[in-house]
Structure 1
Amino acid sequence: MLIKTLASSLALATALIAGSASADSISQETTQQVQQIRNATVKITYGDTTFLIDPMLAKQGAYPGFDGTYRSELRNPLVGLPMPAEDVIDDTDAVIVTHTHLDHWDAAAQALLPKDIPLFAQHQADAAMIREQGFTNVRILSDKAEFDGVTLSRTGGQHGTDEMYASPEVAAALGDVMGVVFQAPGQETLYLVGDTIWRDEVDQALDEYDPKIVVLNAGQAMRSDYDDPIIMGKEDVLRATQTAPEATVVATHMDAINHMSLTREELREYVQAVGIEDHVVIPADGEVISF
C-alpha cells in the first residue's frame, strides 16, 4: 500500500514508501486520508466524503484533569490545536462520536459545529444527550448505515478490563464505546478501533472486514486505582501488525490528555525496536496520512 504524509499547513508532501511527490500529484492519486488533529480527534476523508471523528476542540488547559486518573493534576488538553478550530470543522460532511467522554466530545465542539450537521452516535442514550445539546440531525449507528456512498459498520469494544466493569461505579464512568469500519466500492477498508482494550471484538472485526488501514487509539490511558490501562498501548500496536500484517496501523490518541501514559516518542522507539516501522504511522498533530 502506498502511504504518503502531508503537513496540514504546507503544500508539500512526503511519500513514505514511494518517495517525494508534488502536492498536485498526490491530490490526484489520493482516495483516502487520515488527518491527526489532536488526541482522538481525527478527520477521515474516504473517497469524496470527510468525517470528523470525536471532536475535542477546546483551547489548551480549558478543563481540569480527569479525577481518579494518572496525572490528574494536569489540565486538559495538554496542548493546543495545530490549526484554528474553525479549520478543523471546515469541509466536514459528517461527525462520528464514538462516545461522549469529554476528550471525545467537548463543549467547544458542541458550540462550533453546525447544529444541523449529520452526526452519528453509538446508541440512543448518547443520541438523546447530543440532541439535547441542540443537534438536529443525529443518527444512531446501531449496526450499519450508509452515508454519501460510504458504508459505516459499528464494531464493539470495552473501555477497560472486566475487573473494572465489575464495579458499577467504575463501569458507569467508563461507559459504552464503539469502533467503526468504513467501506465503499473501490476503496480500501478502514477500521477505526475506538477507545477499547484488545478484546475478542477487535479480533472479530479484523477477521471479518480485513481492513488495510487500522486507526488505533494507543495512548495507554490509565486510571489511578487499577494497574491495567483502559485503552490500547504499544504491545497492542505490535499485536495489530501481527494480526493484520497487510494493514497500515495509524497510532493516535497520545500526548494531549492527562491520563495518557504512552507518548509518541516512546511508541516510535518501541516500533523501531520490534521492527514494525514499515507497518506503523505515528502522525504529529495536524499531519495528514494519505493512502
Structure 2
Amino acid sequence: MQIHQLRNATLILELGPHRVLLDPMLAAKDALPPLRLFGARQRNPLVDLPDSASAALQSVTHCLITHCQKGHFDHLDRLGARWLRDTQTPVICTPHDAAYLGKRGLNVQPLPERHEQPSAFLGGQIRTVRCTHGYGLVGKLMEHGVGYLIEMPGEPSLYLAGDTRLTPRVEAFVRAHQPQVSVVPAGGARFDLGGDIIMGVDDVIAFARLATGRVVANHLEALSHCPVTRTELALAAQQAGVAARLSIPGDGQVLTFNA
C-alpha cells in the first residue's frame, strides 16, 4: 500500500490495482476564502498542490469523501467536485452525503447506513466510524462526517480518521481493531471562538500511544486555521517517544506500507 500525500486532507491511496482519492481540495493557492475573521485573514489554501499531483490524479480509479456539507471546502472544493463530475470517477460516501453529491452530477456510490459494520469495498471491506468535529457550540455548527477503516487482501489495514478529535468512540474503535496504519488530522484547527475541531499535538501523541501500528499525520500547513506545524509535531513526538511510529509527510511525499 502506498499513501501519496497531496495537501491537507487530500491524498491518494494505492491499494493493489486501485487508486483512491480522498477528500479532493484541488484549488490553487489563495483561491478560497479565509477561515478566520480576526487577526491575519489569510486566504486558502496557503500552498499550491505539489508538482506530482497532476500526474497522480490521472491514475485515480475511485474517490472517498469523509464529509463535504456546511462549507467544508477543505475536503471537497468546487474544483474537486468539477474534476469528479468531468471524469465521472466513482465517489464512495455515506448515505447522508449521497443526495448532496448527486445533485452536483457526481457518480455517487453510497455505502450502507451501518456504522462500524463491514461493507464490500474494492474486493475487501470498509467500515465507517463517526467523527466528532469539535465540541460545544462550534461542534453544533460543524458537519461531523465519518472516518473509514479499510481492510483489503494483501494490504495492511488502514484507518482514515477523518476530521475528528480523539474521542472515547475513536479510542474504543482503535483498541478493538488496532489498524496497522492510521491517518489522522493533526493541524489543531480552530476558529476565532471555541476549541480545536480536529486533533492537535496532544491528541496525535495520545493516539500514537494508543495505536500499535504506524500513524501518519496530515492536515498540516495548508489552511489558515491550522496552527500546528510539522516541526512542532515532530519535536513533540520525539519527546514523547513515539517518533519511530509517527510519519509526518510533506506535500507530494509517497509513503509505502507492507502488510
- Please indicate, yes or no, whether the TM-score normalized by the shorter chain is above 0.5: yes
Q: Work out whether 1:59 is the aligned partner of 2:28.
A: yes
Q: Work out whether 1:218 is the aligned partner of 2:189.
A: no
1:49 equivalent among 18, 21, 31: 18
In 1, Cα distance between the equivalents of 2:2 and 2:39? Answer: 33
SS of structure 1 residue aligned to 2:244:
coil
1:277 equivalent among 233, 240, 243: 243
1:223 deviates by 1.3
Q: Work out whether 1:38 is the aligned partner of 2:7.
A: yes
Q: Is the 8 A contact 2:51 2:252 kept in 1?
A: yes
In 2, Cα distance between the equivalents of 1:280 and 1:61? Answer: 30
1:48 deviates by 2.6
1:152 deviates by 1.3
1:140 deviates by 3.4
Q: Relative to structure 2, which stretch is displaced further, 279-288 or 134-143? A: 134-143
User: Which 5+ residue runs of structure 2 have no aligned equivalent?
Assistant: none
Runs of 4+ in 1 over 3 A off after TM superposition: 162-165
* Residue deviations 1:61-81 (CA, integer Å, cap 9, x gap): 00111245x766000000000
1:248 deviates by 0.6
1:33 deviates by 0.8
In 1, Cα distance between the equivalents of 2:5 and 2:126? Answer: 20
Paired residue type of 1:288: V
1:150 deviates by 2.5
1:250 equivalent among 192, 212, 216: 216
Paired residue type of 1:147: F
Aligned residue number for residue 266 of structure 1: 232
CA spacing shift, 1:37–1:191, aligned 2, 3 Å: same
1:141 deviates by 5.1
CA RMSD of aligned residues (A): 1.8
Aligned residue number for residue 147 of structure 2: 179
Aligned residue number for residue 289 of structure 1: 255
1:164 deviates by 3.3
Aligned residue number for residue 81 of structure 2: 110
Count matched residues. 250
Q: Is the 8 A contact 2:52 2:252 kept in 1?
A: no
Q: Is the 8 A contact 1:154 1:180 kept in 2?
A: yes
Q: Work out whether 1:189 is the aligned partner of 2:157.
A: yes
Aligned residue number for residue 129 of structure 1: 100
Structure having the higher Rg = 1
In 1, Cα distance between the equivalents of 2:176 and 2:4? Answer: 25
Identity of aligned residues (%): 32
SS of structure 1 residue aligned to 2:101:
helix
Q: Is the 8 A contact 1:37 1:88 kept in 2?
A: no
Aligned positions of 1:236-247 closer than 5 A? 236-244=203-211, 246-247=212-213
CA spacing shift, 1:250–1:57, aligned 2, 3 Å: same
Q: Work out whether 1:77 is the aligned partner of 2:45.
A: yes
Q: Work out whether 1:160 is the aligned partner of 2:134.
A: yes
Paired residue type of 2:91: L
1:211 deviates by 0.4
1:128 deviates by 1.2
CA spacing shift, 1:269–1:71, aligned 2, 3 Å: farther
Q: Is the 8 A contact 2:36 2:224 kept in 1?
A: no
